[in-house]
Structure 1
């Protein structure tokens, strides 16, 4: 059980531009986060392309609770607690698949794709004892936006559209990288790092680290790509970081690729010349240019509090496991129905940075774990989030904006974290 707000004085630990390391290390804080954040707010659970047909499902976790995401026969998407109503066993252990029903392996209670209890063996022992209509799988509240599936245990929560708020236009822009084709999930890479989940939450809008931590990746690509990616470091680039409300944050790295429907006419990257030529027979010249401009995704990273990042060309999902352990999923994206050569190259690029033998993710994970280890030193010395305070501005809609390397979005995320933790 999590402690009460009175027994957990989090306000004493967090200031506008800093917080104490106990936010990474304190077990009682972590327990409260699982309850007050992951079990009470909207949490991303899947993409619609992962469950396109009736009976398609995937299992995942929300906080500490296992859940099933499934499309039923009426095409409705349901999210259920993965727990039999009889003795509590999970009714599904597969990561993904297709099912006609979910049957508990302990006593064979069987549930339909709509969650209703359909059958139980030796039913005579339950005559006048059990009404099957009263024992469905517990259903979560579900919301879908642009193919992104969210769920929550809190049925009194604000509508998903309101929760996403200022992030919605940026989600719309992110999905344009399909270049006229729908986006679909194209495999994933999972790993665990020994650190608190918020360390990764911060990272998505932290471009200040990029030239340092990812120097090996920059050396592994051609100069044109390296220069394009790191152009955000200059004050003249137009790259910004922005708070979007409700803990969501944005970092624009390449303004020219924010809206892929707007073509500034710049030459295509030379590294994609051969790929462009390979798809000329199946695409119009306009389609070829549109697809090639989308190869590196969009020109921004979008953080959706608390667990999903839309990062240029892939999804990054975090799952808190323990106060000092977090599971990460890096999900590659493809053009559904698009040229296979393009999807293959997008996957190779994903592997080059995000894969287990890539040049990006291993360096990130090392940095995150060092933050966790270092937090044990000087527990009264705060973690700083003050970069860019001298040049941050507030727009008419309340969003704060600063240079792309500043920590504006992190400060906003922790302000929302504090609000939710005190509710």
Structure 2
């Protein structure tokens, strides 16, 4: 289809979002039209399940952490009964935020403006000088607004819609991959270890595309590959290991780069890589059995795939990647390292060192990725009537071990999956 036959930014009828997403391309206006961005916040982020936290970030009674659903600030809490809540971070009186601390422990949120206080389940607890409101004032009518909240395997999601499908149905085929990803606990619960947060001047969908884009890896991340020893470099030959990309439905997708590392409980008898020899020896010295050592070492190295969950989170090899739309041309990214809750300190320490090597602020991965994302946003200013191509690898690989429905590891299947869900939601 000729690009000149399709609508441009200037000719697109208002609200005709379906015309902006074709089977093999998307219109450049998706990156830079503020009106489209505003509609995305309403039609997508207020109408689907959005990832807000991992359960380990609210580890006990009366703990909390701040988060976002789209552009709206929320507080994720675990109340005194250990029930999880997601509450709009807005006092019901005059709209001031009731929580400014990133995370912590408390039994009450107190608005700093007029002193209205709330329990961690959102219930309005007390109002200073309430008698002035009169006898008809009912505190039960003014709790913090609570979003529908559900969990799957430690991952907490929230939605503004009470009539939406259950989270398990929304995740669908992705649940299998979440379960595989959580095997990085090596038999221990998975917990967050720390995070690297930054912003880049670009649209949120540019990053959404990146997580299942193996095509860029040997080019953008050449400096990372050059920093590795030969053995590790072979592991990261992501285009030459028989991997694949798969559309999981609902905009979700998985990119398998290292098939031998999909299930970390398999093939534990394989030789321990040289880069983990010192860690294995330290674990043996601490009294771990050979089986435990192999299981922990395997988990520390991370999984062999990236799982993209539409619209805002990825389980990426060995960390969570969370995106937050800020504006049409600004996005916040959080890279959250994960480890073993109750596992050996040496293993978690190694996880952090590996995370820093690639994803940390001085690492080889994040700065190079961010540079690429920023260049895409700058380049999108050229040629308003041009299209973004997502046409690589449309044909499935017949006879592949993963099934006849999967595509090459460098295919743009994940992007097509996400944009078809974008199209569905924006046109609903």
TM band (smaller chain): over 0.9
1:375 aligns with 2:380: yes
Deviation, structure 1 residue 7: 2.3
1:261 aligns with 2:250: no
Deviation, structure 1 residue 129: 3.7
Matched position secondary structure for 1:294: helix
Output the CA distance in 1 between the equivalents of 2:17 and 2:163: 25
Distance 1:134 1:229, change over 3 A: same
1:151 aligns with 2:155: no
Deviation, structure 1 residue 122: 0.7
- Which residue matches 2:3? none
- Which residue matches 1:233? 239
Deviations 1:143-178 (A, max 9, x none): 000000000111111100000001000000000111
Instruction: Check whether the contact 2:71–2:324 (CA below 8 A) recurs between aligned residues.
Output: no
- Which residue matches 2:219? 212
Output the CA distance in 1 between the equivalents of 2:63 and 2:155: 16
Output the CA distance in 2 between the equivalents of 1:310 and 1:341: 23
Distance 1:398 1:165, change over 3 A: farther
Output the CA distance in 2 between the equivalents of 1:140 and 1:263: 42
4+ residue segments displaced more than 2 Å: 390-395, 397-400
Pick from 309, 312, 319: which aligns with 2:314?
309
Instruction: Check whether the contact 2:313–2:321 (CA below 8 A) recurs between aligned residues.
Output: yes
Deviations 1:348-391 (A, max 9, x none): 11011001100111000000000000111112111100111244
Instruction: Check whether the contact 2:251–2:420 (CA below 8 A) recurs between aligned residues.
Output: yes
Distance 1:76 1:38, change over 3 A: same
Output the CA distance in 2 between the equivalents of 1:358 and 1:194: 20
Instruction: Check whether the contact 1:394–1:400 (CA below 8 A) recurs between aligned residues.
Output: no
1:139 aligns with 2:146: yes
Count of residues in correspondence between the two structures: 415
Instruction: Check whether the contact 1:243–1:249 (CA below 8 A) recurs between aligned residues.
Output: yes
Structure 1 unmatched runs, 5+? none
Output the CA distance in 1 between the equivalents of 2:28 and 2:262: 35
TM-score with structure 2 setting the length = 0.94
- Which residue matches 1:116? 123
Output the CA distance in 1 between the equivalents of 2:144 and 2:34: 30
Query: Aligned ranges for residues 12-23 of structure 1 at < 5 Å?
Result: 12-23=19-30
Instruction: Check whether the contact 2:280–2:293 (CA below 8 A) recurs between aligned residues.
Output: yes
Query: Aligned ranges for residues 13-162 of structure 1 at < 5 Å?
Result: 13-162=20-169
Instruction: Check whether the contact 1:109–1:117 (CA below 8 A) recurs between aligned residues.
Output: yes
1:250 aligns with 2:257: no
Deviation, structure 1 residue 61: 1.4
Instruction: Check whether the contact 2:77–2:120 (CA below 8 A) recurs between aligned residues.
Output: yes
Deviations 1:319-358 (A, max 9, x none): 0000000000000011111111111111011011001100
Matched position secondary structure for 1:38: coil
Deviation, structure 1 residue 393: 6.3
Farther off after superposition, 261-270 or 202-211: 261-270
Matched position secondary structure for 1:251: strand
- Which residue matches 1:416? 421
Query: Aligned ranges for residues 221-370 of structure 1 at < 5 Å?
Result: 221-230=228-237, 232-234=238-240, 237-263=241-267, 265-280=269-284, 281-370=286-375
Output the CA distance in 1 between the equivalents of 2:252 and 2:298: 26
Aligned-residue CA RMSD in angstroms? 1.7
Output the CA distance in 2 between the equivalents of 1:370 and 1:399: 35
